[in-house]
Structure 1
Amino acid sequence: MGQCYGKGASSRAVEDELGVVPETHSPPPANGVPQTPPRPVAAAGTPRRRKSGSTTPVHQTPGVAWPSPYPAGTSPLPAGVSPSPARSTPRRFFKRPFPPPSPAKHIKATLAKRLGGGKPKEGTIPEEAGVVPPGGPGVVGDGADAERPLDKTFGFGKNFGAKYELGKEVGRGHFGHTCSAVVKKGEYKGQTVAVKIISKAKMTTAISIEDVRREVKILKALSGHNNLVKFYDACEDALNVYIVMELCEGGELLDRILARGGRYTEEDAKAIVVQILSVVAFCHLQGVVHRDLKPENFLFTTRDETAPMKLIDFGLSDFIRPDERLNDIVGSAYYVAPEVLHRSYSMEADIWSIGVITYILLCGSRPFWARTESGIFRSVLRADPNLDDSPWPSVSVEAKDFVKRFLNKDYRKRMTAVQALTHPWLRDDQRQIPLDILIYRLIKQYLRATPLKRLALKALSKALKDDELLYLRLQFKLLEPRDGVVSLDNFRTALTRYLTDAMKESRILEFLHALEPLAFRSMDFEEFCAAAISPYQLEALERWEEIAGAAFQQFEQEGNRVISVEELAQELNLAPTHYSIVQDWIRKTDGKLNFLGFTKFLHGVTIRGPNTRRH
């Protein structure tokens, strides 16, 4: 349920071979940014999240059989990470036809479930529980429950008319429209705001009602960032829900890209990307994943060229708990990450979307394009972005490395938003770097690791150059070490400094329970570096082989020891049936880890069970 900015535009949909209902349009011009195609019509979803361990298969799109990019016997879920829990994230079906023309096109499935009434069109995807409740639109359940009406009360204020005077319409979407309004009383009296009006008559399912509740909850819970649209109020009456927000009158980032002929200079692009990274880092620290990052969802506050941007449209967003993986496919086709299509993803999916935006800013074309959504998905899963053709030869090496680090198909190798702010392309010694939740995840894993794994990580951290330790040094400083060491109190204080209601909802503070061992000990910077580095991220660096070689030499001196196949397998939590996996990791001459074994040991092994992908 996104904010609406702009007049409606119609779109014609046809079925493709996947049973998805995409728009068709002429191919883009040479620069890849079309000037006249229709605006995105819908964001589609997939079945809601299932309980971990469920044996009920996830409903697949007819005809879809995407090959997994993960080798047989492995899983996209890191060790110890669980798939989505019983808490349900509904499917999302939105019809949001906004001009001006966009380089994005939403993933489309059926609108039948959300629109209510009638049978779904041929080729569309029915909801698992049925397209329309047995009692028809407006009722829910079956049998004795079929006559129970949907509860369309939200507990919002009932005095909208007394508090706000509506003005002209400034945007329209399928589920509602947005108007300007003047506040008549209260703290913001006389201020002009944006009011998103959502018709209750169009809330024909429990899912659509829950969408509105979640959007308001996230907007209300997130606060305190300059690049986040400000939420003021939520009201309702018998007919509508009213979401009152900050009015941004400077237009979309998309408009400015098009006005510049499709691309930005590197310096101007940096200013945009820094704002995007800053607000996304804030959301991720709070445990909120946006899931629909694209140029249309960033608005400028005014028409001024230097006006700040605001992130809007949290209709597809959700709270995500520590170590949780989501599996519902939502977002926009050109910006969707590969792991989203494989139904196992987390915050890294937002990072991929930022990579696509950065690519567009720098060259004016989309990194993944096709005439149909099935073609887009294939491109996202299989193709590499073109960084060779014009204008890429004139783009800096740092900028190209930045894009490649974001558009890595292995989500574990992508930088976080905070890490990206310290990347050589964006580095600014005067910029304040926020706390990164990744630090808490990695240190939790380190505290649970075996002594041998800790020695291997220590060797790896010692192989890094001072420049490559900048991010870790800044994060250590944010923990406010005492006498050069940090303990549990430091981690607790740093995290609670950013505390909002969103962080409580997403249970981010649970990380502190995993760090309890630090209540009885401290950690200096050297150990912090060993604990807070990711071998996967380092593997994405061009000099990874050099780092790994130097780390192995260090490990040979300080940590390598004689180890049996059985002991090594137990270190990796492998069952006896999988002992053969690690046989080649041990040198025959002295029974110690060889170089291959060292690098593999750093990454660990995850075995995929037969039902893993069903969750």
Structure 2
Amino acid sequence: MGLCHGKPIENPQNLSENPIIPDDNIPAVNYRTGKSSNFPFYSPSPLPSGFKNSPANSSVSSTPLRIFKRPFPPPSPAKHIRALLARRHGSVKPNEASIPEGNEFEVGLDKNFGFSKHFITHYELGEEVGRGHFGYTCSAKAKKGSLKGQDVAVKIIPKSKITTAIAVEDVRREVKILQALTGHKNLVQFYDCCEDDDNVYIVMELCKGGELLDRILSRGGKYSEEDAKAVMVQILSIVAYCHLQGVVHRDLKPENFLFTFKDEHSPLKAIDFGLSDYVKPDERLNDIVGSAYYVAPEVLHRSYGTEADMWSVGVIAYILLCGSRPFWARTESGIFQAVLKADPSFDEAPWPSLSSDAIDFVKRLLNKDYRKRLTAAQALSHPWLANYHDVKIPLDMIVYKLVKAYICSSPLRKAALGALAKTLTVPQLAYLREQFTLLGPNKSGIISLQNFKTAAVRNSTDAMKDSRVVDYVNMVSSLQYRKLDFEEFCAATTSVHQLEGMESWEQHARSAYELFEKDGNRPIMIEELASELGLSPSVPVHVVLQDWIRHADGKLSFLGFVRLLHGVSSRAFQKT
């Protein structure tokens, strides 16, 4: 494909009268910090635009523009995102709109972190090697201590830029997360943290192989499928590790992955946890952070969890395989509208020549409904990566969430889920078998809820405690329920939403309903169904449940079966 540009639109009928002409003087902006990147903000490609001198009627596109049904596009969230992030870091300008979420430029702010004061005596700084959200990174050599003589990287955060209590907490959290997670082979290793009156110094492993972005550019803009697999396995490995511990990175992009060495087969390392945060499986975050091209739709809606990272991984996978961004526009507002409304293109080269598994892999990560998105562990189990060497499937916290929901379900829904689980494919069952094995079944192939706690503790770090994922695990393991064999485990851990996001969903649902008709369906009164669903007397059950039951024989209809699979609630009925 050569350079990773989208295809020029020859007849841009949907464009405004003023064509999009690249201007290399407009940098990309990271909304949290104003960080510039090495390529134009509105370019559809990680490469500098090759269309600078193109005719005025040409434009680069990888995501088709949409015509909105209203006379004008809906308000862009960009203005509020900028204001929120500016306020978070105390950089609100006099005429800039803001969201009232706390005081900026806080007087008497304590910037003493309690870190070691020995940086000057222990390390000799070298040249700058990169710029991050708060500060910059330099190479250095250790002069004393256990690292004596070793080359290291030092992230320097000027205290002058830490102007809010939130920013202070961000720095503390970044250090705590790096300390807790260090040790994973695909995470930059943390060594030390120091401070003086002017700066905070985070001492880490020095990666000399350059950014993943640079490696993409050196390959002409994209990777082959096999080479892309090697990258994705490493990215997913560290993301799955973070998510199990309750850490969401929130800024996954090619610039934040470094190669340890310049060697072609060098390990890949995740860096820059400056925007990371803790999140429990049953919690949602609401602050908007990240980089525009990689931000998930639910982040713009201010309600998200670890699934937002998986969207970013999907964007990286899209770029690796075709060399273009899946969502792009000339302005930040346009980028956000594309993320919220547009669908990525899989029609142009090289997509038609790529494997169906590769396309399915990317599509299932770039699903705008976060509930239908693959988790990192599930992505490692996807057929596209299943046969790749050295793939290890880690414990997946979604299993805990699904089992908790299953235990709290009615007997009727459990029977429906059991029927659905019997329609799963071999790869889907292989993933569930891996998870079941990780939970440590006994010789009879049975697990109890105590196994869930034991497995989590076996994989826990201090981050899992700080994120309170341990509390969630303890809550799940304390539920009163009988032991599970593999068949019931599959019923409990089958994600209806994720199956619904697949092209084969209709087939799964129909096949499951046929099984349910044979084994579990029976005549049922509306009042009995309402009781099964735990609906309150205030809900008009006859109105909302009448199409759930076939009038001919009083059994659950296909529509009722599918709704039952999704796990209805009285709140949902009250909204109806």
Would you call these one fold, judging by a TM-score over 0.5? yes
1:99 to 38, 42, 65: 38
Q: Is the 8 A contact 1:95 1:175 kept in 2?
A: no
1:289-332, Cα deviation, whole Å (9 max, x unpaired): 11111111111111111111111111111000230011111111
1:78-117, Cα deviation, whole Å (9 max, x unpaired): xxxxxxxxxxxxxxx3132243667579966147536657
Structure 1 partner of 2:275: 316
Distance 1:595 1:520, change over 3 A: closer
Structure 1 partner of 2:435: 475
Distance 1:393 1:578, change over 3 A: farther
Give the gaps of 5 or more residues in structure 2.
1-18, 48-76
Give the alignment of 1:397-546 within 5 angstroms.
397-428=356-387, 431-482=391-442, 483-516=444-477, 521-546=482-507
**CA-CA distance at 1:173 after TM superposition:** 4.7
Residue 594, structure 1, aligned to residue 554, structure 2: no
For the residue of structure 2 that corresponds to 1:244, the secondary structure is strand
1:561 to 501, 512, 522: 522
1:391 to 332, 338, 350: 350
**CA-CA distance at 1:172 after TM superposition:** 3.5
**CA-CA distance at 1:175 after TM superposition:** 3.3
For the residue of structure 2 that corresponds to 1:167, the secondary structure is strand
Residue 109, structure 1, aligned to residue 82, structure 2: yes
- TM-score w.r.t. length of structure 2: 0.84
Give the gaps of 5 or more residues in structure 1.
1-24, 29-33, 44-92, 140-148
Q: Is the 8 A contact 1:487 1:519 kept in 2?
A: no
2:95 to 97, 111, 121: 121
1:577 to 536, 539, 546: 539
Distance 1:446 1:277 in 2: 27
**CA-CA distance at 1:582 after TM superposition:** 2.6
**CA-CA distance at 1:459 after TM superposition:** 0.7
Structure 2 partner of 1:9: none
Q: Is the 8 A contact 2:410 2:533 kept in 1?
A: no
For the residue of structure 2 that corresponds to 1:577, the secondary structure is coil
Q: Is the 8 A contact 2:307 2:373 kept in 1?
A: yes
Give the alignment of 1:25-174 within 5 angstroms.
39-43=27-31, 93-99=32-38, 103=45, 109-110=82-83, 113=87, 116=90, 119-122=93-96, 124-129=97-102, 132=104, 137=105, 139=107, 149-173=108-132
For the residue of structure 2 that corresponds to 1:157, the secondary structure is coil
For the residue of structure 1 that corresponds to 2:237, the secondary structure is helix
For the residue of structure 2 that corresponds to 1:426, the secondary structure is helix
Q: Is the 8 A contact 1:444 1:514 kept in 2?
A: no
Q: Which moved more, 1:300-309 or 1:569-578?
A: 569-578
1:242 to 194, 201, 206: 201
Q: Is the 8 A contact 1:40 1:98 kept in 2?
A: yes
Give the alignment of 1:184-223 within 5 angstroms.
184-223=143-182
For the residue of structure 2 that corresponds to 1:193, the secondary structure is strand
Distance 2:558 2:567 in 1: 14
Q: Is the 8 A contact 1:289 1:319 kept in 2?
A: yes
Residue 252, structure 1, aligned to residue 240, structure 2: no
Distance 1:582 1:213 in 2: 52
Distance 1:185 1:541 in 2: 56
Q: Which amino acid aligns with 2:349?
A: S
Distance 1:426 1:325, change over 3 A: same
For the residue of structure 1 that corresponds to 2:145, the secondary structure is coil
Q: Is the 8 A contact 2:534 2:569 kept in 1?
A: no
**CA-CA distance at 1:588 after TM superposition:** 0.9
Q: Which amino acid aligns with 2:176?
A: K
Q: Is the 8 A contact 1:120 1:126 kept in 2?
A: no
Structure 2 partner of 1:605: 568
Distance 2:517 2:92 in 1: 69
**CA-CA distance at 1:501 after TM superposition:** 0.3
Q: Which amino acid aligns with 1:466?
A: V
For the residue of structure 1 that corresponds to 2:138, the secondary structure is strand
Distance 1:411 1:561, change over 3 A: same
2:298 to 339, 344, 356: 339
Distance 2:39 2:116 in 1: 34
| Count of residues in Structure 1 that have an aligned counterpart in Structure 2 | 519
Q: Is the 8 A contact 2:46 2:213 kept in 1?
A: no
Distance 1:376 1:301 in 2: 32
- Root-mean-square deviation (CA), in Å? 2.7
Distance 1:214 1:388, change over 3 A: same
Give the alignment of 1:16-27 within 5 angstroms.
none
**CA-CA distance at 1:230 after TM superposition:** 0.9
Distance 1:501 1:37, change over 3 A: farther
**CA-CA distance at 1:581 after TM superposition:** 2.9
Distance 1:548 1:501 in 2: 41
Distance 1:421 1:446 in 2: 24
Distance 1:331 1:231 in 2: 22
Percent of aligned pairs sharing the same letter: 61
Q: Which amino acid aligns with 2:393?
A: I
1:497-552, Cα deviation, whole Å (9 max, x unpaired): 11100001112122333334677632111011111111111112222222111111
For the residue of structure 2 that corresponds to 1:327, the secondary structure is coil
Distance 1:524 1:205, change over 3 A: same
Distance 1:207 1:604 in 2: 38
Q: Which amino acid aligns with 2:94?
A: P
**CA-CA distance at 1:395 after TM superposition:** 1.0
